[in-house]
């Protein structure tokens, strides 16, 4: 067989262990960490899901090596807690039985202990330990680790590595990046010690070297050790790429794979986990630069989800391995699709941060485009239906497409009717915004997946009650979506006004002086797009806050992007009239003001298309309603509801 991506599909040997391809599952924290910090069954399934999808390695994250000085509610591994060793053993076995190598990330947060505590008040009672005395940005005191405690922690890394090996893990990753403890020792910003661990670079690397020596002694020769580091801390006062290269050279003889990431968690979340506002592969340059100076294999990561880009990274020698976290949530079968030349069916990560926001808010996981993530044990396996039925899906947006795909996979005869000339629904318009293009691709890919399982897709076919009765389906799933909300503002139908839903058809109508009316998520993102095009942008919002509908991970980056883009923001401004000169508003002081501009993009939200639901409610024995036609919400909601509506038929 001729592989379309031969370098990505090629095995690699690290230590004495063979990995079946060059696509590794990067660390991502589990979901049901028990009160005793063992791996819950849902987390085991969470990691197994990626192993089943064809990843060469899956890394369980994060194992706290020294709970005495690290009080975070993450995984612990010991011999005295009931279920501790066995939970790791079951997890390693679940990963390995699919041909993937099970790895575990050995971690210590140092002065950021308690970051993932569900009970945030408990942070106040935790001792924060770091390389040096000091005060965290949030005011918490940091105590300098004594030599005795350093020795304990170094020994603990080895002890946990040995237990991981005993549990069946065949590789360990030592977390030395992102502002955690080892990184704190490496960093001149955090490390102000004057003993053998501080000052010169050689001294600052000493702790990492001692940890790696401890791990190697515990696991023996030939057992792969992966070291995760930030190639550069990417902030003033931290170490830069030149020092990152020197660090790599000082530790390479102690490891089998050098995993090069970027930044620090506290000072660059959107860089360490690249947001949609950054190019894909924005951190690859760090691995590429370091690889030129070391002999050990190098892994890279950071917003990677395109097989051709990843193939080029390996083929050109920028790295030896590519690692993915979010991309393998969106589509755990990405590696399998790559090696079988089915890359056109990959459901791509949107870099929307739903997965990370959900963990921060509810200590669970969810993915916008994959309804199974975080619910792997909730009867999510798609099995053939006992009785095959005819299913009519009304609407070809993300929810309708997901419903059709799931229903067809269960063996039902599925007809999907879409009133437009292409599928995708509200996502069709995203093709005009480069950093949101993957949302448009989602509709295209879901359409291809539906075709691959035999869904009868009928375009340019609005569904009336008469048509539904002619089709005579056993079940109807109404996914009619939403339509623009247009309040009674004078002039909103003017020639200089473009509905955001139609922007992809009317791009040429947007002038260089544009007003975006509506500061929700859609309005903010299109405003950023216009600013990137060099336009003068004014963003008008009637409320006091921008984009309250954005998730807790995406919103801070969105607001920062607006600020640095030079967009003029008018909050507490209610639009009264649109005219050829701009938008007349009433401000917070009830004064009438004119915001000048030559074109207006209307992004005032959506409203549910309830008329379709009402018309079809008695057109089949079973009628389900999903997505925006129920209540205007998110892609996440539409996809999740679509999947389950199909599972219930």
Residues 250 and 136 both lie in one domain: yes
Q: How many CB atoms lie within 10 A of CB 263?
A: 26
Q: How many CB atoms lie within 10 A of CB 98?
A: 15
Does the residue 165 lie in any domain? yes
Residues 451 and 507 both lie in one domain: no
Q: How far is CA 405 from CA 294, 320, 331, 364, 451, in A?
A: 47, 36, 15, 25, 8
CB-side neighbour CA atoms (13 Å) of 541: 19
Q: How many CB atoms lie within 10 A of CB 1?
A: 7
Residues 473 and 530 both lie in one domain: no
Residue 447: closest CA among 418, 478, 479, 481 = 418
Does the residue 191 lie in any domain? yes
CATH of the domain at 476: 3.40.50.720
- How far apart CA 54 and CA 283 sit, in angstroms, is 24
Residues 593 and 635 both lie in one domain: no
Q: Give the chain's domain count.
A: 3
Residues 136 and 203 both lie in one domain: yes
Does the residue 507 lie in any domain? yes
- How far apart CA 518 and CA 533 sit, in angstroms, is 19
Residues 622 and 576 both lie in one domain: no
Place of tokens 């309830």: 610
Domain boundary residue, one of 298, 330, 351 = 351
pLDDT of residue 79: 96
Blockwise average pLDDT, block size 10, the chain, 649 residues? 97 98 95 92 96 98 94 91 97 98 97 71 72 88 96 98 98 97 97 97 98 98 98 95 98 98 83 95 98 98 96 98 98 98 98 92 91 87 93 98 98 98 96 97 98 98 97 98 95 96 96 98 98 98 96 95 97 97 96 97 97 96 97 96 97
Does the residue 374 lie in any domain? no
- How far apart CA 386 and CA 134 sit, in angstroms, is 64
pLDDT of residue 118: 59
Does the residue 588 lie in any domain? yes
Residues 422 and 293 both lie in one domain: no
Residues 323 and 429 both lie in one domain: no
Place of tokens 């999907």: 416
Domain boundary residue, one of 295, 326, 351 = 351
- The encoded tokens of residue 508 equal 């040429």
Does the residue 584 lie in any domain? yes
Antiparallel, parallel or unpaired: β 497-499 and 513-517: unpaired
CATH of the domain at 552: 3.50.50.60
Residue 468: closest CA among 389, 387, 388, 394 = 394
If you ran DSSP here, which 8-state letter would residue 305 be given?
-
Residues 22, 314 contacting (CB under 8 angstroms): yes
pLDDT of residue 204: 98
Residues 340 and 410 both lie in one domain: no
Does the residue 384 lie in any domain? no
Q: Could you give the 3-state DSSP secondary structure of residue 295?
A: coil
The sign of the CA dihedral 20, 347, 313, 231 is negative
pLDDT of residue 126: 67
Q: Which domain holds residue 113?
A: 6-351
What residues contact 614, with CB distance under 8 A and at least 6 apart? none
pTM, to two decimals: 0.95
Find the length of the chain: 649
Residues 455 and 501 both lie in one domain: no
Residues 472 and 431 both lie in one domain: yes
The sign of the CA dihedral 299, 301, 307, 313 is negative
Does the residue 369 lie in any domain? no
Residues 517 and 575 both lie in one domain: yes
């Amino acid at each position: 067989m001729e592989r379309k991506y031969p370098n990505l599909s090629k095995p690699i040997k690290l230590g004495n262990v063979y990995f079946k391809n060059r696509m590794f599952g990067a660390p991502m924290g589990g979901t049901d960490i028990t009160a005793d910090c063992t791996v819950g069954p849902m987390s085991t399934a969470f990691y197994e899901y990626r192993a089943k999808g064809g990843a060469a390695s899956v890394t369980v994250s994060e194992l706290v090596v020294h709970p005495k000085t690290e009080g975070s509610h993450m995984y612990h591994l010991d011999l005295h807690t009931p279920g501790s060793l066995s939970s790791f053993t079951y997890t390693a076995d679940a990963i390995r039985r699919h041909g993937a190598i099970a790895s575990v990330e050995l971690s210590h947060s140092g002065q950021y202990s308690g970051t993932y505590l569900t009970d945030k008040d408990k942070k106040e009672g935790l001792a924060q330990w770091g390389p040096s005395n000091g005060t965290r940005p949030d005011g918490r005191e940091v105590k300098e680790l004594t030599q005795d405690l350093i020795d304990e922690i170094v020994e603990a890394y080895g002890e946990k590595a040995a237990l991981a090996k005993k549990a069946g893990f065949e590789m360990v990753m030592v977390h030395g990046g992102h502002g955690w403890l080892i990184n704190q020792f490496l960093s001149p910003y955090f490390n102000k010690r004057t003993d053998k661990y501080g000052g010169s670079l050689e001294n600052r690397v000493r702790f990492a070297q001692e940890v790696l020596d401890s791990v190697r002694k515990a696991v023996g020769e030939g057992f792969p050790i992966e070291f995760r580091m930030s190639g550069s801390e990417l902030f003033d006062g931290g170490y830069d790429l030149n020092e990152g290269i020197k660090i790599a050279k000082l530790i390479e003889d102690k490891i089998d794979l050098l995993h090069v990431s970027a930044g620090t968690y506290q000072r660059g979340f959107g860089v360490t986990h690249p947001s949609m506002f950054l190019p894909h592969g924005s951190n690859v340059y760090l691995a590429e630069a370091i690889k030129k100076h070391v002999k050990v294999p190098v892994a890279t990561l950071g917003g990677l989800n395109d097989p051709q880009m990843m193939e080029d990274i390996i083929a050109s020698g920028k790295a030896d391995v590519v690692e993915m976290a979010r991309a393998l949530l969106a589509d755990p079968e990405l590696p399998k699709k790559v090696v079988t030349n089915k890359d056109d069916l990959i459901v791509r990560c949107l870099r929307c941060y739903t997965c990370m926001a959900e963990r921060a808010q509810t200590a669970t996981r969810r993915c916008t485009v994959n309804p199974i993530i975080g619910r792997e044990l909730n009867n999510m396996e798609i099995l053939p239906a006992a009785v095959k039925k005819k299913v009519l899906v009304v609407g070809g947006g993300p929810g309708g497409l997901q419903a059709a795909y799931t229903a067809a996979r269960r063996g039902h005869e599925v007809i999907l009717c879409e009133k437009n000339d292409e599928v995708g629904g509200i996502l069709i318009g995203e093709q005009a915004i480069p950093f949101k293009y993957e949302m448009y691709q989602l509709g295209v890919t879901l359409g291809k997946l539906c075709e691959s399982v035999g869904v009868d897709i009928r375009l340019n076919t609005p569904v009336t009650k008469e048509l539904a009765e002619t089709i005579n389906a056993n079940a109807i799933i109404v996914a009619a979506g939403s339509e623009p909300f247009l309040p009674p503002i004078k002039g909103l139908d003017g020639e200089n006004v473009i509905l955001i839903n139609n922007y992809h058809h009317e791009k040429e109508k947007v002038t260089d002086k544009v007003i975006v009316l509506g500061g929700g998520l859609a309005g903010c993102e299109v405003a950023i797009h216009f600013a990137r095009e060099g336009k003068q942008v004014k963003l008008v919002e009637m409320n006091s806050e921008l984009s309250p509908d954005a998730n807790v991970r995406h919103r801070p980056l969105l607001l920062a992007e607006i600020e640095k883009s030079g967009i003029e923001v008018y909050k507490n401004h209610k639009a009264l009239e649109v005219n050829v000169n701009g938008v007349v508003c009433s401000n917070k002081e009830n004064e009438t003001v004119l915001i000048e501009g030559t074109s207006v993009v209307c992004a005032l939200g959506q409203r549910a298309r309830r008329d379709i639901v009402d018309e079809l409610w008695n057109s089949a024995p079973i009628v389900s309603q999903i997505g925006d036609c129920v209540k205007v919400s998110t892609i996440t909601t539409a996809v999740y509801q679509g999947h389950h509506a199909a599972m219930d038929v």
